Structure 1
Amino acid sequence: MSARRPAEVLDWARAFAEEELAPSAGEFDRTGQLPGSVIRQLADAGVLGAVVPPRWGGAGMDALDYGELTEVVGKACSSTRALLTVHTSLVCETLVERASDRIKDKYLPDLASGRRIGCFALSEADAGSDAASVTTSYTRQRDGFVLNGRKKWISFAGIADLFLVFATDNGVLSAFLVDRDTPGVRTAPMTGFLGNRATHIAEVVLTDVAVPEENLVGRIGAGFGFIANTALFHGRYSIAWAGVAIAQAALEEMCTYATRREQFGVQIGAHQLVQKMVADAVTNVDAARELCRQAGRARAERSVEAVMRTNIAKYFSSTIAQQVTSDAVQVLGGNGCWDQYPAERLFREAKILEIIEGTSQLQQVMIADHGYKTFARKS
């Protein structure tokens, strides 16, 4: 199948999100499974290869269109959006930017088409925000490397065909591509999560896994400064738009309910304290979307400000997503606490965004440092 154009991918995603994803998102959450049929449809429509250049079968979508795509999908179903964050942003975009031509030619066509699903294996039981604490190890062999260790909380590891794995050799962090069918690779499903319940989260166990030399991504020692940071930059942009998506969905739930529900003989939307929550949500969602667009424009221009613009957008959008979903639950009252309405699921999903791809506290540190350097008077 020839690659679709960006506009075609977006048009298809809008219809699919409204007709298929939104009505099913609650069921995906309750069952803890994103169906294979959904993933195949996303793959066939070019969504999973949206940002991959046409040379490798992707749509070559720019940053602003990809942000809109993320919002469209994420507003309908956060777990489906997570597949874009993991497979498309963390894995595909990183390989496009940092991998050798040999790796790109070998893996990107299958990833762009969805014939293979990729996942990002960085986190461990004691290594989250502090990526330097990774203990999964690699040792050099004559014709490659041998990996040993455990990765935890890895989204889509339960169904992934390809793992982007980070491992250390006495503090020298490097990145490797590991095929699922390599001897010594095992995954164990993990359940009981607050959100992202349909993202096939699993622990990845690596026991004497032999990786060929050509599956080293970048060079030895580039795992953190180049590969992980690049991946997290792309993932953070996706999560920034995810915040807009969840907040927009919650805003729509809040407004719909407030104009239909009556208490004390009037619509609850007529009460000023409800109006304040709605007004704040409208304003904050628009502001978050514009911050994401600023980040997208900076990325498209390859501006030196792109990283900080992305950090700011991710911090703000995840913060307002938590606030807007909380207010949506409040407006819906008892129904907001019941899984027959989307508000409680949106509330749970929003909290995840304040943790993944750099916690809000880490964003605050980085943004504050940027503020000191930029705005403190020199004399």
Structure 2
Amino acid sequence: MTTLPTTMDEILKLAEQTGAALAPLAADVDAGRSNGHETYRILRDAGLLGLLVPREAGGAGLGFADYSRVLAVLGAHNGAAALGFNMHNVAIGALSESAGTALPPAAEKFRAWLFDEVVSGRKMFASATSELGTGAKLRGIRTSYRLSEDREHFVITGEKSFVSLAGVADYYVVVARAEGSEGTGEVSHFVVSAQDEGISFGEVHGLSAMYGTSTAAMKLDGVKVPRARLFLGVEGMSLFKLVREPHWMAAGYTGAYLGIAEAIYQFSADYVAASPKRAESAVLQRDLGRMSARLRAARALVHAAGAQVDAERGSLEANAMVHAAKYLVGEVGPALAQDALRVCGSAAVSRSQPLERYIREASFSSVMPAKPDECLEYLGKAALGVNLYDAQAFDW
């Protein structure tokens, strides 16, 4: 079993080394010449699956801010791998943050089991939330569950439209509502094993970028899940947890897209520096200056938002900050892409150069939750003093 480093500098060094190993795989995966599963083997072998797991359970115990820094390092090397890796951490992030909090016996047992699966078993988790027509919004979930006749299992039936790490993860954290509870907003999370009978995946979606996330539709046909795999042993509280602490759902991706923005900027700077004539151009210097300013602003806000979450998780200010960070990174990435097109010219559109991939990847931030309009609406409501702890105040 790989033991994670004990200092943040060492963890960032490990992330850099792992990212360097992932980088050469990106082009083949993105072009569909590889299924990308090798990237996740590398992440497993590096021991990074336990970044969020508390130290007393064998992990690195990273908070939201430091995790975002690690994700940015990985994203600068391989955006799709970073996003896929993030899905593992989105699935376990909130549970990892409960470290040190006393829980009821069933919840304590569940938490200990999951941490052991991640650390000792090197098991990868993924989130299975999105459905056709509603996306990742919990209120519209149609996947349903019922208690089995022997009352020892939950039986889950439904379809998910976009499940990253399909065919890669060992477990999927599935969101479902109790049969007959339509419109109540009471949804629950269940841990479904990839080996459970009744699980199937469609073909991996042919995306224009991020093919390496291994994203596909998922069907659950009467899947029987032991009661012990009900998340924390509590039904119906998932939406209310999200309303209080939305940072994983709203901004867990932000570090990966910051990393892609960093890669766009670094490629452009290196491209200009490689030619004395280009490097002496005042026009190109100003273009790089504009890119630098934009990137620094995004980086500062992502880091500040992460620190705010770590300091006062669930506060209105922390929740507003992560929405602001998600919005700004989603704006800055495509803006840098446009700058790079002007600065690098044909090098930006050549499939032989990684910049062409970075430019395509940067635009995907806008389709990941929370979407730009949702971020702005949340921030506007916060500015007007709307009670955002009310589940009815926002379209979750």
1:298 is matched with: 308
Local SS of the residue matching 1:373: coil
Label 1:260 to 1:96 Cα distance change in 2 as closer, same or farther (>3 A).
Answer: closer
CA deviations on 1:41-95 (whole Å, 9 max, x unpaired) are 322332111111123321112333222211111111111211331002x112123
Local SS of the residue matching 2:169: coil
Q: Write the letter of the residue equivalent to 2:221.
A: T
Measured in 2, the distance between the counterparts of 1:222 and 1:120 equals 17
Label 1:317 to 1:309 Cα distance change in 2 as closer, same or farther (>3 A).
Answer: same
Q: Is the 8 A contact 1:63 1:296 kept in 2?
A: yes
Question: 1:156 is matched with which residue: 153, 165, 168?
Answer: 165
Question: 2:237 is matched with which residue: 222, 235, 247?
Answer: 222
Question: 2:359 is matched with which residue: 335, 338, 347?
Answer: 347
1:122 is matched with: 129
Local SS of the residue matching 1:308: helix
In the TM superposition, residue 231 of structure 1 has moved relative to its aligned partner by 8.1
More displaced 10-residue stretch of structure 1: 48-57 or 71-80: 48-57
Local SS of the residue matching 1:39: helix
In the TM superposition, residue 2 of structure 1 has moved relative to its aligned partner by 6.0
Measured in 2, the distance between the counterparts of 1:336 and 1:351 equals 15
Measured in 2, the distance between the counterparts of 1:269 and 1:133 equals 56
1:270 is matched with: 281
In the TM superposition, residue 35 of structure 1 has moved relative to its aligned partner by 4.3
Measured in 1, the distance between the counterparts of 2:18 and 2:189 equals 35
2:347 is matched with: 335
Q: Is the 8 A contact 2:272 2:278 kept in 1?
A: yes
Local SS of the residue matching 1:146: strand
Q: Is the 8 A contact 2:22 2:42 kept in 1?
A: no
> Does 2:16 correspond to 1:14?
yes
Measured in 1, the distance between the counterparts of 2:157 and 2:245 equals 22
Measured in 1, the distance between the counterparts of 2:68 and 2:202 equals 32
Question: 1:137 is matched with which residue: 113, 135, 144?
Answer: 144
1:307 is matched with: 319
1:377 is matched with: none
Label 1:67 to 1:340 Cα distance change in 2 as closer, same or farther (>3 A).
Answer: same
1:49 is matched with: 50
Q: Write the letter of the residue equivalent to 1:166.
A: V
In the TM superposition, residue 271 of structure 1 has moved relative to its aligned partner by 5.0
More displaced 10-residue stretch of structure 1: 126-135 or 73-82: 126-135
Local SS of the residue matching 1:186: strand
1:174 is matched with: 188
Q: Write the letter of the residue equivalent to 1:370.
A: A
Measured in 2, the distance between the counterparts of 1:129 and 1:117 equals 20
Q: Percent identity?
A: 25
Label 1:234 to 1:269 Cα distance change in 2 as closer, same or farther (>3 A).
Answer: farther
* Matched ranges for 1:177-196 at <5 A: 177-196=191-210
More displaced 10-residue stretch of structure 1: 279-288 or 364-373: 364-373
Q: Write the letter of the residue equivalent to 2:240.
A: G
Label 1:291 to 1:314 Cα distance change in 2 as closer, same or farther (>3 A).
Answer: same
Measured in 2, the distance between the counterparts of 1:68 and 1:140 equals 41
Q: Write the letter of the residue equivalent to 2:129.
A: L
CA deviations on 1:318-364 (whole Å, 9 max, x unpaired) are 21011102221332222312211122211111111112121011001
Q: What are the ranges of 5 or more consecutive residues in structure 2 without an aligned counterpart?
A: 387-396
Question: 1:325 is matched with which residue: 334, 337, 340?
Answer: 337
Measured in 2, the distance between the counterparts of 1:130 and 1:71 equals 26
Measured in 2, the distance between the counterparts of 1:29 and 1:76 equals 13
Measured in 1, the distance between the counterparts of 2:364 and 2:120 equals 28
Label 1:112 to 1:126 Cα distance change in 2 as closer, same or farther (>3 A).
Answer: farther
Q: How many pairs were matched up?
A: 367
Q: What are the ranges of 5 or more consecutive residues in structure 1 without an aligned counterpart?
A: 375-379
Measured in 2, the distance between the counterparts of 1:77 and 1:269 equals 31
Label 1:32 to 1:298 Cα distance change in 2 as closer, same or farther (>3 A).
Answer: farther
1:206 is matched with: 220
Measured in 1, the distance between the counterparts of 2:73 and 2:251 equals 15
- TM-score, normalised by the number of residues in structure 2: 0.85
Q: Write the letter of the residue equivalent to 1:23.
A: P
CA deviations on 1:214-235 (whole Å, 9 max, x unpaired) are 2211422113222x55785225
2:93 is matched with: 93
